[in-house]
Structure 1
Amino acid sequence: MSYAIDISAARREIQHPNGVITKISKDIAVTFPAELPLEALDPILSDELDLVGLIGDIVQADGVDGLDVSKVVTAIFRRPSLPRKFLAAVRETYEILLGDQFEEFLESKPSSGDYLRLTIALSKVYGVELGKLLRSLVSSESDSPTSSQTSPGTTGSTPAESGSGPDTPTSSGPDA
């Protein structure tokens, strides 16, 4: 049978048929799923954590191009439970990804740097960039107008009626 769409062909299981085998320490290796399960993003994108809301507040305050670090810090301090909730969400995400291997992973006592390096490496393998994902979620919430008038009034070069051309002076002969 021929299929118009076969999503199984594009999965990362083709590249990593046994999962993403990862050396954690000299004695510990774990295997992450070959494809990022959607549920693994739930803890990071949860309403309770409100990371998307935080990013929205920061972007609204400064815009995407000119982030002021002091305003980022202020936005974080307005949510005093955010750091602890974020760490819990990261741990929960890794627990979803590793399943039964999560306890073995924790035995290696991963540092914040370990989590960061591992997350960056996994995002490359999975083809997911959380910055772009979160930016698209924030930008979709914008209530600003999508376009604005470029100049007031008209220039006179645009015909008033569709299909009509510009007025041209008539010629009355060679001496005119």
Structure 2
Amino acid sequence: MSFVIDLDAERREVQYPNGIPVRFSGEQFIFPAELPAEVLDPILSDELDLVGLLGDVIESAEGDAGVKEVVNALFRRPSLPRKFLAAVRQSYEILLGDQYKDFLAARPSIGDYVRLTTGLAKVYGVELGKLFRSADSSENASETSSQTSPASTTDSTPEASGSAPDSPDSSDSAG
């Protein structure tokens, strides 16, 4: 039997069986080989309301948001930057577990968080833009897929809607 989705297939643990090693401030930190789903909980919390912020920005700009709209939305939520930083720290605490205190002791800067998050996103294969993209937006971003052109299906697609290709003995089968 073949599966459309095989969650038991080879995972990142095979590439990084002991976790993902990261060097920071002369220390080594080990991140989990697979990104735990709960790591997004602090970022997607109702208290932080980033989705609401994005909705306000898009609504205020009628779909064409610029820097001005983003800044205005941020000023309407003056505690958001502090809450966002707390959410980022909570996410790293989930990822690092017992190593988190040592990580904080190394005093990561905002740039460190940005570089580390960007690097981990690449290793984990996560693109935040795709996580928040609406379901009706479909784009072929796969390296192994290709768009199907109408020319490639003309020989196998019936001309009339609902018609089936001729097959011998199809009417003789008495199921």
Structure 2 length normalisation: TM-score?
0.71
Q: What's 1:121 paired with?
A: 119
Q: What's 1:24 paired with?
A: 24
Q: Secondary structure at the match of 2:21?
A: strand
Q: What's 2:53 paired with?
A: 54
Q: What's 1:45 paired with?
A: 44
Deviation at residue 60 of structure 1 after TM alignment: 2.3
Matched, 1:67 2:61: no
Larger Rg, first or second structure (1 or 2): 1
Structure 1 length normalisation: TM-score?
0.71
| Root mean square deviation, CA, Å | 1.8
Higher normalized contact order (CA 8 Å, seq sep 6+, divided by chain length): 1
Q: What's 1:106 paired with?
A: 104
The alpha-carbon distance between structure 1 residues 17 and 3, as it changes in their structure 2 partners (threshold 3 A), is farther
Question: What is the CA–CA distance in structure 2 between the aligned matches of 1:134 and 1:62, rounded to whole Å?
Answer: 18
Matched, 1:34 2:36: no
Question: What is the CA–CA distance in structure 1 between the aligned matches of 2:29 and 2:66, rounded to whole Å?
Answer: 39
Structure 1 unaligned spans of 5+ = 140-176
Q: Secondary structure at the match of 1:21?
A: strand
The sequence identity of aligned pairs, in percent, is 63
Structure 2 unaligned spans of 5+ = 138-175
What is the one-letter code of the residue matched to 1:89?
A
Deviation at residue 129 of structure 1 after TM alignment: 1.2
Question: What is the CA–CA distance in structure 1 between the aligned matches of 2:13 and 2:55, rounded to whole Å?
Answer: 35
Question: What is the CA–CA distance in structure 1 between the aligned matches of 2:121 and 2:62, rounded to whole Å?
Answer: 25
Which digits, 9 at most, give the CA deviation of each residue in 1:86-133, with x for residues without a partner?
Answer: 010000000000000001111110000000000000011111111221
Q: Secondary structure at the match of 1:7?
A: coil
What is the one-letter code of the residue matched to 2:31?
F
Q: What's 1:162 paired with?
A: none
Q: Secondary structure at the match of 1:13?
A: helix
Deviation at residue 3 of structure 1 after TM alignment: 7.0
Question: What is the CA–CA distance in structure 2 between the aligned matches of 1:3 and 1:33, rounded to whole Å?
Answer: 29
Which digits, 9 at most, give the CA deviation of each residue in 1:1-55, with x for residues without a partner?
Answer: x7745313242112211111000122x1100000000000000000100011111
